[in-house]
């Protein structure tokens, strides 16, 4: 007969508890890219018997949780849905939860929208604290002056032994991510064992000004140039990494095929310095975005990864057409001359880079046997690149067949 669970050695039981109760193993990724991940802890094991309860609870308490509370229910949903911050739980269960290491209370004293009733909470894991603060940081950049109306109170504690000091390494992990949250109306950190060195380091980080749009764009273009140099050397994977870093410099998060654009409003202004001085920030950003996609498609062609080259190119072309015509369609369509004529009439920025995307995507389509797409894409490339001899020869060859 199989032995009883309690007959296994203690270290084996502890490993099993960790497998089913750790934050890492309890994370569930969503099949829908628009939905955040969530956590499903197998807490039923705590109801097995007294001994299992005692042993498993010790393992579960190794997880580190952060409780976030605001007076605005829509803020909690915004963090979860727009910020894609994975939650352990929300609502009443989060509100009554007390075994957290950090409590972040956010409200807005004195502001007209601060007069709300009730409190609304969400519980997140330490692993998602960086993502939470990154989203808050983006929200402040996109809505200039938002933080000036907000008050943040942080309270650290050991949830299992009152008044026990939290180790410095954990205090840093809990508090330093808030260094990117700047220019608050009021900021307080509490905790009986808060280390002055951690508190001082956090406040120094908060005092560092955010980069300007000009600085973000300059960094983005420099990283793109670094990627181009690696591409010429044949270091294709390293080039792709530089292109991803360039996207990140202008607040666009890229993970695999997922691209999330943040801080559009941050760039809506006239640039006062740098390469694109005197131009609109949103146009300079658009130029960089299109150039990056063009180079990424080329890099995947060099790698002979035609599926990825086609995906990146097609997605950008469809988004380009949507911005011109408002037409939502996952296919290229036959009216390419009509909508490209509209785009050229308004002098769409980076139209040459978009032409290269069309041409390179056509090459990927050809390699994948998507014959019908090739002619449409080459026609688009020909309209956008009228002086490119290679493209024009391709167009003429297709028209003669």
Q: What is the pLDDT of residues 319-340, one digit of tens each?
A: 887 776 666 666 666 666 666 7
Q: How high is the pLDDT of residue 332?
A: 62
For 305-323, what is each residue's pLDDT tens digit?
999 999 999 999 888 877 7
Query: What is the pLDDT averaged over residues 200-206?
Result: 96
- In the chain the first and final C-alpha atoms are separated, in Å, by 75
pLDDT reading at 111 higher than 70: no
pLDDT reading at 164 higher than 50: yes
* Residue showing tokens 């949830």: 159
Backbone angle region of 165, left / alpha / beta, with phi > 0 → left and psi within -120 to 50 → alpha: beta
Rounded distance, CA 305 to CA 225, Å?
A: 22
Q: If residue 284 lies in a helix (H) or strand (E), which one and from where to where?
A: helix 281-302
Which one is predicted more confidently, 43 or 212?
Answer: 212
Q: Quick one: pLDDT band at residue 1, thresholds 50, 70, 90?
A: very low
CA neighbor of 214 nearest in space, from 288, 149, 270:
270
Helix (H, G, I), strand (E, B) or coil at 18: helix
104 neighbors 67 (Cβ within 8 angstroms): yes
Range with lowest mean pLDDT among 88-92, 112-116, 149-153, 377-381:
112-116
Q: How high is the pLDDT of residue 322?
A: 75
Q: How high is the pLDDT of residue 113?
A: 47
Q: How high is the pLDDT of residue 202?
A: 97
Q: How high is the pLDDT of residue 189?
A: 95
Provide CATH code, domain 213-399: 1.25.40.10
Eight-state DSSP code of residue 87: B
Give percent of the chain above pLDDT 90. Answer: 57
Q: Is the dihedral of CA 207, 210, 211, 214 positive or negative?
A: negative
* Residue showing tokens 């908060």: 206
pTM, two decimal places: 0.82
For 246-284, what is each residue's pLDDT tens digit?
999 999 999 888 888 999 999 999 999 988 899 999 999
Q: How high is the pLDDT of residue 320?
A: 80
Q: How high is the pLDDT of residue 115?
A: 47
Q: 187 to each of 129, 150, 154, 190, how far by Cα in Å?
A: 18, 9, 8, 10
Q: How high is the pLDDT of residue 339?
A: 67
What residues does each domain of the chain span? 5-207, 213-399
CA atoms within 13 A on the CB side of 105: 12
* Residue showing tokens 């995307």: 357
User: 187 — phi, psi (to 5°)?
Assistant: -140, 125
Rounded distance, CA 136 to CA 146, Å?
A: 10
227 neighbors 242 (Cβ within 8 angstroms): yes
Mean residue pLDDT across the chain = 89
Rounded distance, CA 341 to CA 325, Å?
A: 11
Range with lowest mean pLDDT among 169-173, 212-216, 260-264:
260-264
Q: If residue 252 lies in a helix (H) or strand (E), which one and from where to where?
A: strand 252-255
pLDDT reading at 2 higher than 60: no
pLDDT reading at 114 higher than 50: no
Q: How high is the pLDDT of residue 334?
A: 61
């Amino acid at each position: 007969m199989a032995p009883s669970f309690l007959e296994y050695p203690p270290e084996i039981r502890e490993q099993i508890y960790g497998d089913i109760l750790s934050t890492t193993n309890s994370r569930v990724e969503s099949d829908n890219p628009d939905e955040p991940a969530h956590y499903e802890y197998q807490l039923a094991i705590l109801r097995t018997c007294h001994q299992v309860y005692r042993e498993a609870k010790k393992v579960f308490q190794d997880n580190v949780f952060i409780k976030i509370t605001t007076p605005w229910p829509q803020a909690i949903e915004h963090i979860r849905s727009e910020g894609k911050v994975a939650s352990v739980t929300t609502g009443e269960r989060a509100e009554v939860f007390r075994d957290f290491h950090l409590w972040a209370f956010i409200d807005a004293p004195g502001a007209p929208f601060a007069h709300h009733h009730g409190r609304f909470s969400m519980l997140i894991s330490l692993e998602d604290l960086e993502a939470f603060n990154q989203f808050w940081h983006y929200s402040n950049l996109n809505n200039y002056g938002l933080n000036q109306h907000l008050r943040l109170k942080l309270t650290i504690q050991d949830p299992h032994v009152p008044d026990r000091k939290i180790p410095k390494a954990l205090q840093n992990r809990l508090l330093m991510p808030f260094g990117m949250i700047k220019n608050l109306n009021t900021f307080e950190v509490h905790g009986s064992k808060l280390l002055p060195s951690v508190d001082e380091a956090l406040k120094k980080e908060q005092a560092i000004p955010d980069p300007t749009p000009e600085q973000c764009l300059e960094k983005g273009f420099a990283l793109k140039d670094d990627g181009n140099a690696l591409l010429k050397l044949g270091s294709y994977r390293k080039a792709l990494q530089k292109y991803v870093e360039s996207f990140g410099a202008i607040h666009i998060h890229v993970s695999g095929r997922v691209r999330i654009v943040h801080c559009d409003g941050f760039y809506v202004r006239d640039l006062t310095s740098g390469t694109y001085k005197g131009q609109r920030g949103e146009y300079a950003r658009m130029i960089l975005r299109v150039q990056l996609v063009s180079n990424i498609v080329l890099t995947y062609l060099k790698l002979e990864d035609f599926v990825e080259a086609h995906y990146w190119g097609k997605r950008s072309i469809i988004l380009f057409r949507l911005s011109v015509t408002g037409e939502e369609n996952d296919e290229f369509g036959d009216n390419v001359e009509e909508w490209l004529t509209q785009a050229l009439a308004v002098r769409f920025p980076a139209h040459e880079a978009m032409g290269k995307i069309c041409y390179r995507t056509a090459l990927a389509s050809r390699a994948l046997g998507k014959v019908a797409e090739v002619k449409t894409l080459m026609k688009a490339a020909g309209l956008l690149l009228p002086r490119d001899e290679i493209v024009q020869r391709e167009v003429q060859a297709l028209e003669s067949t």
